Chains A and B, each alone.
Chain A
Amino acid sequence: MARLEIGQIIAVLKEKLPEAVSEEVLDGVDPVIVVKAEQWAAVAELCRDDSRLGFDLLSCITGVDYPEREEGAEIEVIYNLDSTANLHELTVKVKLPRSDPRVASVEGTWATADWHERETYDLVGVIFEGHHNLVRILCADDWVGHPLRKDYEPPDSFHGIKNVIY
């Protein structure tokens, strides 16, 4: 197996799923591909199963809140994929409407997604559909709100413990 360039990776993806890649951002620091939310589950499986791609390691899931985008408020979910055999990497972005951020869970594809998705749900408030146990992981179970949303206001107190700002 060999390391593929970003162009070759996109070509392999398009060969199997012609509609998969909706946008290619190749002039940034890292090349990024944008995938439509409804296609992500299929793309994820292809990324893992195609031996030319072989993205068997899901390194990281990041949720980023963009409340003031011109094209409408969005939340981006970013998946960093790694291949242990081919040694290449891929950054995949899924853009979701901020009012109802829903994307398919990929915990069936990469088991590590379980906790990463719970964290993204907890802190950014993205709903991962099909996740078997989408509950908070870092914050307390009865915490209100998603702290990494840009319009998040911390509560004045939590169970009688005052929020002291020095």
Chain B
Amino acid sequence: MTEAKIRTEEMLLNMGPQHPSTHGVFRVVVRTDGELILESQSHIGYLHRCFEKCAEGNNYLQVVPYTDRMDYLCAMMNNWGYAASIEKLTGIEVPERAEYIRVIVAELNRVASHLLAFGTYGLDIGAITPFLYAFRDRERILKIFEKLCGQRLNYSYVRIGGVTFDMTDEILSDIEAFCDYFDPKIIDEYDNLLSYNGIFISRTANVGVIPADLAISYGVTGPSLRGSGVPRDLRRDAPYGIYDRLEFDVPVGSGEMGQVGDCWDRYMVRMREMRQSIRLVRQAIKDIPDGPFCDKKAFRGVKPKAGETYKKVEGARGEVGFYVVSDGTNIPYRVKARAPSFCNISILDKLTSMSDVMLADLVAIIGSLDIVLGEVDR
């Protein structure tokens, strides 16, 4: 049999900015040889809303709602990161009860965010059912938040000096009911549905492997870094709030299904983190003290002394940092946000150039990095 003369040609393909698998407006230009990607170039900025410029024109309290709109899937942690940096700058003490409430809402928000990551990741790969399950349960969390602060996504709940509304006993029992419903039964169900599904494993194991040192060099943090086997978690390594009083494990990727740092590892870290988050919520609910939930004076306005600081917290996607410069007025001189998705997605071009990545795997890699474009572009 003679070989057919097939002419191959390199092709430039444009993926995005409007593409369902890029989770927002994100554009990748890929140079392909058949199904193989030779090189890719990411373009961001389509959702740039000038957060940092806006922050220079509003007073410290007015900046809080802008932080919601960065990573709109885990707004609580963005609020907290910003509030924590201003509290560090001004030396405002947060009441004990507020610290517990912050842990409860942040961890619930982490579960909600990871649920969305789980659902849409299935969708990216071609499993549609998990998405419906994930949204069913995420809805329960959003309902709790709606009851708590009237908002489903952009909470502005964690503010400088505390939280906006007190946690009532009714909401606490709602949260307990959710925890009992969710863990372990529902997460086990998810694992059976998707995590150990043969097709899912073949699509994600050994795909998009990020070695630990490369991940650190590219500033990858959060579940994506832990997927590469690096046990770095700010809640444990640089505890803020009351995390040092609570017990939890830091799941890391171990290459169970393939190599350490592949897409499956990153995915599985999120699934395991949900269990830990529920564990944290249960502990916080058990120990929550009575008392004030905010520093009333700080709620009326803050005016830090001239100075600057950098503070970061562990968000659902990685380390959310705020560098704040004060010139002594009630308007920030400069606010710089370190968005975890911005750093995490920057590794994509490297991944496609250093190993053989199939076109279909690009979707699996982007999904496993779990980016939110609102945060990439700010």
Residues of A within 8 A of B213 (CB): 56
* Chain B: CB-nearest residue to A76: B325
Interface membership of A39, Cβ < 8 A: no
Residues of B within 8 A of A78 (CB): 308, 310, 323
Contact count A vs B, C-beta below 8 Å:
89
For residue A139, give the distance in angstroms from its CB to the closest CB of chain B: 7
* Chain A: CB-nearest residue to B49: A138
Interface size class of B (residues with CB under 8 A): 35 or more
Interface membership of A26, Cβ < 8 A: no
Interface size class of A (residues with CB under 8 A): 20 to 34
B44 and A138 form a contact (CB under 8 A): yes
| 8 Å CB interface, A109-138 against B | 110-112, 114-116, 123, 136-138
For residue B50, give the distance in angstroms from its CB to the closest CB of chain A: 7
For residue A26, give the distance in angstroms from its CB to the closest CB of chain B: 13
Interface membership of B237, Cβ < 8 A: yes
Interface membership of B265, Cβ < 8 A: no
B307 and A111 form a contact (CB under 8 A): no
B343 and A112 form a contact (CB under 8 A): yes
* Residue interface bits B238-249, CB-to-A below 8 A is 1, else 0: 100000000000
Residues of A within 8 A of B319 (CB): 59
Residues of B within 8 A of A59 (CB): 219, 310, 312, 319, 321, 338
Interface membership of B232, Cβ < 8 A: yes
Residues of A within 8 A of B338 (CB): 59-60, 80
Interface membership of A5, Cβ < 8 A: no
Given A60-B323, A62-B334, A64-B325: A115 and B48 interface contact (C-beta under 8 Å): no
Interface of B is mostly: mixed
B216 and A84 form a contact (CB under 8 A): yes
Q: How far is the CA of A115 from the CA of B344 in the complex (A)?
A: 11
* Chain A: CB-nearest residue to B322: A60
Interface membership of A96, Cβ < 8 A: no
Q: 13 A–B contact pairs at CB < 8 A?
A: A29-B89, A57-B216, A59-B312, A65-B334, A80-B321, A84-B230, A84-B232, A111-B346, A115-B343, A138-B45, A139-B48, A147-B50, A148-B56
Which residues in A have some Cβ–Cβ distance to B below 8 Å? Answer: 28-30, 32, 56-60, 62, 64-65, 78, 80, 84, 87, 89, 91, 110-112, 114-116, 123, 136-140, 147-148
